[in-house]
C-alpha cells in the first residue's frame, strides 16, 4: 500500500509539471492558434537559467524565480515579434509556423548548449533536502512546493481569464479575433501577452522541477511531448483540461513504471493518447475546433 501511495505522490508531482507545460501551450494555442513546439525548450531555459542564478550567482530562490520568469518571458517576446508575427503577417500555412517554433527551439537549445554544456546540473530543494514523512511515505519538500505552485498558478490563471478585462479580452481573441478587434481589442498585443505569459510560466516550471529531475540541455523534448499529450488528452479547448490531462499522465505513467515496465512508459503514454483519441476525439474535456 505504501508503495502505491509513493508512486501516487511522485506521479502527481510529475503530473503537475506535465500539466503546467500542457497549460502553457494550450494557453498560447487558445489565444493565437499557434502551437509552440518549442515549449519544452522554454522549460529547459528556465531550469538552466535558474541554476545559473542560484548556483553561480548565489541568488536566493525568491529572487531567481521572478528573474527566470522575466527572462523566459523575454525570450518568448523575441520569438513572438521575430518569428510568429512576421509569419502571421504573411498568412503562412500551418506547417510554416510549426517549423518556425521548432527552429526557435533548436536555436535556444544550441545557444544554451554552448553556455551551459551538456551535463546534468542540479539544485538543492528550496526548503531543504529532508523529505516530509507521512506514515512510511516520503514526500520531498520540492514535490510539495511543485504541487502547491501548480495549484496557485492554475488559480491565478482562472481568475485572470474569467475575472479580469484583459483575461476576457484574451479569450475573445482566441475565440474570434475579428470580433474581438471590432470590440477594441488589440489582437497582436493579446497574442504577444499570451506568448509571454506562457513562456514565463514554463520557465518557472523549469526552475521548480530542477531540484527533482535536474536540468539538462536536452530535457525539453520529453517534457514537451508529455505536455502536448496532456493537452490532447485534456482537450485543447481548455487549459485546465490540460492540467488534468497532465496529472492523469503523470500518475498513469508512474503506476505503469512501478507495476509493469519502466522502459515502456513513453509508449504507454502515447498509446493512452491513441485510446483517448479513438474514444473521444475531442479530448476528455472540451471541444476541438476544426
Partner 1 sequence: MSLTGAAKSVPLIAAFVLALSPYWWANGYQLSVATLAMEYVIMGLGLNLIFGHTGRVSFGHSGFFGVGAYTLALTQTEWDLPPLVAVVLALGATALVATAVGIPILRLRGHYLALGTLAFGFVVLSMIGKFSNITGGSDGLRVPTSNLFGLEPRNYIYIGYVVVACLTLYLMSKVASSRFGRALVAIREDEEAARSLGVQVELYVIVAFVASAVLFAAAGVLHAYSFGTLAPELVDLRLNILLLLIVIVGGLGNNYGVALAAVLLAVLPQYLIDFEERETLYYGFALLAILILVPRGLGEASRGLALRVARIVQAREAA
Residues lying near partner 1 in the complex (CB under 8 A) are found at: 29, 33, 35, 37, 83, 86-87, 90-96, 98-100, 102-107, 109-111, 113-114, 221-222, 225, 228-229, 231-232, 236, 263-264, 266-267, 270, 273-275, 277-278, 281, 288, 290
Minimal distance, residue 80 CB to partner 1, in Å: 13
Indicate the residue among 87 and 126 with the shorter CB distance to partner 1: 87
CB of 261 to partner 1, least distance (A): 10
Q: Which is nearer to partner 1, 70 or 78 (CB)?
A: 78
Is 82 in a helix, a strand, or coil? helix
Distance separating alpha carbons of residues 133 and 125, to the nearest angstrom: 16
Length of the chain: 290
- State the minimum distance, in angstroms, from the CB of residue 32 to partner 1: 11
| Closest CB to partner 1 among residues 61, 236 | 236
Provide, rounded to whole angstroms, the least separation between the CB of residue 53 and partner 1: 24
- Mapped onto helix, strand or coil, the DSSP state of residue 137 is strand
Interatomic CA distance for residues 6 and 12, integer angstroms: 10
Which residue lies nearer to partner 1 by CB, 163 or 290? 290
* 132 φ/ψ angles, rounded to the nearest 5 degrees: -85, 130
- How far is it, in rounded angstroms, from Cα 275 to Cα 269? 10
Q: How far is the CB of 107 from partner 1 (least distance, A)?
A: 4
Which helix (H) or strand (E) segment holds residue 167: the answer is: helix 165-175
The nearer residue to partner 1, 33 or 171, going by C-beta atoms, is 33
Q: Shortest approach of partner 1 to residue 105 CB, angstroms?
A: 8
Taking the least distance from each CB to partner 1, the nearer of 92 and 126 is: 92
**Which of 51, 221, 31, 247 lies closest to 154, judged by CA?**
247
CB count, 10 Å around CB of 246? 28
* 229's grid cell: 499529450
Amino acid at each position: 500500500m505504501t508503495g502505491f501511495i509513493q508512486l501516487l505522490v511522485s506521479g502527481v508531482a510529475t503530473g503537475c509539471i506535465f500539466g503546467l507545460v500542457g497549460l502553457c501551450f494550450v494557453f498560447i494555442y487558445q489565444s493565437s492558434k499557434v502551437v509552440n513546439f518549442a515549449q519544452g525548450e522554454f522549460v529547459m531555459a528556465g531550469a538552466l537559467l535558474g541554476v545559473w542564478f542560484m548556483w553561480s550567482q548565489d541568488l536566493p530562490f525568491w529572487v531567481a524565480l521572478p528573474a527566470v520568469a522575466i527572462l523566459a518571458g523575454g525570450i518568448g517576446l523575441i520569438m513572438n515579434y521575430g518569428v510568429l508575427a512576421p509569419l502571421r503577417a504573411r498568412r503562412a500555412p500551418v506547417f510554416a509556423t510549426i517549423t518556425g517554433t521548432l527552429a526557435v527551439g533548436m536555436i535556444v537549445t544550441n545557444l544554451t548548449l554552448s553556455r551551459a554544456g551538456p551535463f546534468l546540473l542540479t539544485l538543492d530543494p528550496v526548503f531543504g533536502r529532508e523529505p516530509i514523512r507521512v506514515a512510511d511515505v516520503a514526500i520531498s519538500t520540492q514535490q510539495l512546493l511543485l504541487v502547491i505552485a501548480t495549484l496557485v498558478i492554475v488559480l491565478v490563471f482562472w481568475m485572470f481569464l474569467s475575472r479580469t478585462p484583459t483575461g476576457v479580452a484574451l479569450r475573445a481573441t482566441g475565440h474570434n479575433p475579428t470580433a474581438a478587434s471590432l470590440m477594441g481589442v488589440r489582437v497582436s498585443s493579446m497574442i504577444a501577452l499570451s506568448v509571454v505569459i506562457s513562456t514565463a510560466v514554463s520557465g518557472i516550471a523549469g526552475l521548480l522541477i530542477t531540484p527533482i529531475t535536474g536540468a539538462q540541455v536536452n530535457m525539453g523534448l520529453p517534457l514537451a511531448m508529455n505536455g502536448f499529450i496532456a493537452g490532447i488528452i485534456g482537450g485543447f479547448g481548455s487549459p485546465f483540461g490540460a492540467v488534468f490531462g497532465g496529472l492523469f499522465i503523470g500518475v498513469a505513467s508512474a503506476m505503469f513504471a512501478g507495476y509493469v515496465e519502466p522502459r515502456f512508459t513513453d509508449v504507454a503514454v502515447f498509446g493512452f493518447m491513441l485510446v483517448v483519441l479513438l474514444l473521444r476525439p475531442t479530448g476528455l474535456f472540451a471541444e476541438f475546433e476544426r
